């Protein structure tokens, strides 16, 4: 296999597993089996091993003796630290994005809000989390700061694995889309500061439940 092709496969595997971690496909404590991931992606074990090593360097997974690569669990202090960083970074990205977002992107956000609403009606965690990630990415990419987006995505790796647990309490889950509606109202009013506050409220709302289940 040519070097460029091997690098391309490795990058694809890395980005895929990284995204799976971000949207909560794996839970804290889950062991990431190299052969299982390789078979699922249709690749050899080598690029999977390399991808997991990269993710370990980002603290997205940990190498536990006799267990292998495992999804780490956050304690309450670690979660609180991540929460404060998320609100700072994502609030800034949201406000900047509100200044620059296009009409096409706004329309996409409206559609994603509808998708998230439907997913919550059926408590479809995967559909909700996929649409939620895309909603935030579109808004943050509009900020025009690749570095800010990179920092946000790195922080997401820390909380992604417990995000599925938001759906353990159906009553709580029903309110997950409320702040997104506030984002759209603020965008319609051309009120970037309002967009920032709505995103911060969105993060804080989910955090109240997630923090309660941390170690």
Asked if 100 and 166 sit in the same domain, the reply is: yes
Q: What is the CATH number of the domain that holds 31?
A: 1.10.10.10
Domain boundary, last residue among 19, 47, 70: 70
Determine contact, residues 191/95, Cβ cutoff 8 Å.
no
**Residue 54 sits in the same domain as residue 80:** no
Please check whether residues 172 and 208 belong to one and the same domain. yes
How far apart (Å, rounded) are the C-alpha atoms in residues 79 and 94? 21
User: 3-class secondary structure for 115-162?
Assistant: HHHHHHHCCCHHHHHHHHHHHHHHHHHCCCCHHHHHHHHHHHHHHHHH
pLDDT value of position 30:
92
pLDDT, tens digit only, all 215 positions of the chain: 555 776 789 999 999 999 999 988 898 989 999 999 999 999 999 999 999 999 999 989 999 888 889 999 889 999 999 999 999 999 999 999 999 999 999 999 999 999 999 999 999 999 999 999 999 999 999 999 999 999 999 999 989 898 888 898 999 999 999 999 999 999 999 999 999 999 999 999 999 999 888 76
- What is the pLDDT at residue 24? 86
In this structure, the answer to whether residues 55 and 83 fall within a common structural domain is no
Q: Produce one character per residue of 163-179: b if its CB has 16 or more CB atoms within 10 Å, e if not.
A: bbbbbeeeeebeebbeb
56, 90: one domain:
no
**57 and 113 assigned to the same domain:** no
The tally of domains found in the chain comes to 2
Question: Where residue 152 sits, what CATH number does that domain have?
Answer: 1.20.120.530
Residue 138's pLDDT is what?
98
> Which residues does residue 62 pair with via DSSP β-bridges, in sequence order?
70
Amino acid 68: pLDDT:
86
Final residue of a domain: which of 22, 52, 70? Answer: 70
Task: Examine the domain organization and report whether 203 and 117 are in the same domain.
Answer: yes
Q: Which of 40, 55, 70 is the last residue of a domain?
A: 70
**Residue 214: per-residue pLDDT:** 78
**Domain span including residue 173:** 76-212
CB 132 within 8 A of CB 90: no
pTM attached to this predicted model: 0.87
Kindly state whether residues 128 and 198 are assigned to the same domain. yes
- Rounded CA-CA distance 137/142 in Å is 8
Query: Are residues 152 and 47 part of one domain?
Result: no
Could you tell me if 66 and 145 lie in one domain?
Answer: no
- Do 94 and 22 lie in one domain? The reply is no
By DSSP bridging, strand 62-64 and strand 68-70 are antiparallel
For the chain, state the CA radius of gyration: 18
Helix (H) or strand (E) holding 186: helix 178-188
Contact 61, 18 (CB under 8 A): no
Query: Which of 24, 160, 190, 179 lies closest to 91 in space, CA to CA?
Result: 179
Q: Is there a single domain that holds both residue 25 and residue 83?
A: no
């Amino acid at each position: 296999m040519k070097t460029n092709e091997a690098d391309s496969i490795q990058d694809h595997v890395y980005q895929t597993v990284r995204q799976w971690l971000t949207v909560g496909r794996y839970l804290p404590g889950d062991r990431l089996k190299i052969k299982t991931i390789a078979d699922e992606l249709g690749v050899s074990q080598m690029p999977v091993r390399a991808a997991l090593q990269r993710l370990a360097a980002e603290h997205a997974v940990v190498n536990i003796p006799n267990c292998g690569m495992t999804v780490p669990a956050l304690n309450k202090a670690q979660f609180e630290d991540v929460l404060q960083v998320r609100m700072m970074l994502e609030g800034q990205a949201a406000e900047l994005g509100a200044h620059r977002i296009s009409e096409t992107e706004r329309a996409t956000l409206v559609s994603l809000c509808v998708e998230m609403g439907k997913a919550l009606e059926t408590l479809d965690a995967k559909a909700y989390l996929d649409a939620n990630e895309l909603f935030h990415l579109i808004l943050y990419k509009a900020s025009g700061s690749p570095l800010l987006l990179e920092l946000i995505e790195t922080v997401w790796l820390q909380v992604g694995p417990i995000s599925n647990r938001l759906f353990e309490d159906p009553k709580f889950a029903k309110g997950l889309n409320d702040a997104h509606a506030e984002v759209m109202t603020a965008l319609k009013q051309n009120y970037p500061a309002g967009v920032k506050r709505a995103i911060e409220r969105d993060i804080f709302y989910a955090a109240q439940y997630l923090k309660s289940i941390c170690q």
